[in-house]
Amino acid sequence: MKNEKTVRASQRGSMLCLGALAAFVACSSPDQTTTAQPAPPPTAVAPAQAPAAPVTPAAAPVGMHWTAQPGWIAETTTSAMRKAQFKLPRAEGDGEDASLIVYYFGGSGGSREANLERWAGQFEQPDGGDSMIEMQQSTRTVAGMEVVDTDLSGTYIAETSPGSGERVNKEGWRMLASIVEHAGGPWYVKLVGPEKTIAKWQASYAEFISSMRP
């Protein structure tokens, strides 16, 4: 009987010790509550740079400036290739006025030699000679541009319009024509008419070419 009481007392003591130990552990355990921390601000990302576009060289300017000469009469151009057109009144005794046209073909129009040959082909010589040989040519520089000046006389037999096959027949006519080598392509100036009328305006034609500026 005494032993039974001793055992029970011992059991109660053990239970008390276990309870005290549990309480101690609970009190001494760190707080497990997690406090949410604000998320760090997002790191700014530099916008992606677009790849550099290839640099295209600027197109050569195609404009041309000039000074129309006193006594010239401006006319309406009849095609996009004609950039200016003038009537030069006839000299006394001539039956027709002269015509001056400024052409630009957008950088094309054939080689220099091809144009000189084409111009020569618009004249026949009274003696049947070669108009290309008879054509006078000279070269000069105007505002940094190379200029080829030509002078040819004879019977004018140009087509009435390109490709028409119909030709004029003007005896005693003369042509002053120039090729002006612009950076954007050559410009062409052509003056045709009766010989006396061309002689009347020859000096002002030269002044007109000298006035040209890119």
Query: Among 193, 9, 12, 21, which residue's Cα sits nearest to residue 99?
Result: 193
Which tops the pLDDT comparison, 43 or 94? 94
Task: Write down the mean pLDDT value for the chain.
Answer: 81
The CATH number of the domain covering residues in 73-210: 3.40.1000.10
Instruction: Give me the pLDDT at residue 163, please.
Output: 85
Q: Which three-class secondary structure state does DSSP give residue 25?
A: helix
What is d(CA 116, CA 159) in angstroms, rounded to the nearest whole number? 16
Query: What values do phi and psi take at 195, rounded to 5?
Result: -60, -45
Name the E strands within the chain: 73-74, 82-88, 98-104, 123-124, 136-142, 145-156, 170-182, 185-194
Domain boundaries, the chain: 73-210
Query: What values do phi and psi take at 68, rounded to 5?
Result: -65, 140
113 CB-near residues (< 8 Å, 6+ apart) = none
**In terms of pTM, does the model score above 0.85?**
no
Instruction: Give me the pLDDT at residue 62, please.
Output: 64
What is d(CA 122, CA 110) in angstroms, rounded to the nearest whole number? 16
- Per-residue pLDDT band for 49 (boundaries 50, 70, 90) equals low
Mean local confidence (pLDDT), 189-194: 98
Q: Is the pLDDT of residue 203 over 70?
A: yes
